[in-house]
Each structure stands twice: as C-alpha cells, then as structure tokens.
Amino acid sequence: MSKRKILVVDDSALVAEAVKAKLEANNYDVQLAYSGEEALDKVSGELPDLMILDVYMPGMDGFEVCRRLRERPETQSLPIVMLSSRGNIKEKLAGFRVGADDYLVKEFDLLDLPYRVKLVFRLRGLDEEGASNGAGSNRN
C-alpha cells in the first residue's frame, strides 16, 4: 500500500521543514506549501490525505483556507490539523468552527506530532497506509 500523503502549509520554512522531517521519519509522504494560496493550488492538483495548516500567514490565513476547503465537495472531508503560535481557547475554538479536526500550538513537541496525525486518521476511519477501514470516513 502507498504512504499517506500530507500537505504541510506554513509560511516559515524552518517550521515546515521540521514538521516534514518528523513526518517523513514516520513513513509519511510530505509535500510543502508556504502560503494559503499555494495550499489551495496544490490541493486542487492532488488531494492529500491530511493537511497540517498554519493559522497565521500573510495574505490568506489558515482559517480562510480551512473555510474554503470545507465549502468544496471534494475537500469537505479532508482531515485538517491547524498549527498556531496562539493557543488560547478563543483561537482554538475559531479553528474548530471553520472545520479543523485538531489544533496544535507551535510550541508542540515534535515527538507528539505523528501520534496526533495517527489519531486524526483513526478518528476519520482511515488506516495509515491509504485505505479506509469503513468507519466515519465521510464528514457531515
């Protein structure tokens, strides 16, 4: 079976590369985008299995990217984990309101990241190798 594809979106190359390295070490196929606009373009070309999305980026922020993805039938069930430098409850709730599946503060421990990704896949009824296990793979 093929590896799960994850699109990491962050305007900081340092953060994006660190997340990519950690996920690749855990057997994920990782692509990078550095803006909201680039993320939407990449998703239109090839749908990833999961997106890790920075909230605060110049131009289109992660909230708007998430909102737009949830409006499209082809991306409304795409699992999205938001990343932010802000971790207060108001910010987290805003992420969940626009459709995020999880919300991590950037000071997160990189050791925790693959486990959070696995959790989101499991909650969506998806196995790690790219096949649905039949439970909950459609978002309503």
Rounded Cα distance between 20 and 30, Å, is 6
Domain assignment present for residue 135? The answer is no
* 99 has a pLDDT exceeding 90: yes
* Count of structural domains, the chain: 1
Q: Which helix (H) or strand (E) holds 6?
A: strand 5-9
pLDDT of residue 124: 84
Domain assignment present for residue 136? The answer is no
Domain assignment present for residue 133? The answer is no
Q: Which helix (H) or strand (E) holds 21?
A: helix 13-24
pLDDT of residue 2: 77
pLDDT band at 130 (very low <50, low <70, confident <90, very high): low
CATH number of the domain encompassing residue 17: 3.40.50.2300
DSSP symbol at 126: B
pLDDT band at 55 (very low <50, low <70, confident <90, very high): very high
Q: Which residue range is the domain that position 98 belongs to?
A: 5-123
Domain assignment present for residue 63? The answer is yes
Domain assignment present for residue 129? The answer is no
Residue 88 half-sphere exposure toward CB, CA atoms < 13 A = 2
Which residues neighbour 105 within 8 Å (Cβ) at sequence distance 6 or greater?
83, 84, 85, 86, 87
pLDDT of residue 135: 39
Across 44-53, average pLDDT: 96
Domain assignment present for residue 105? The answer is yes
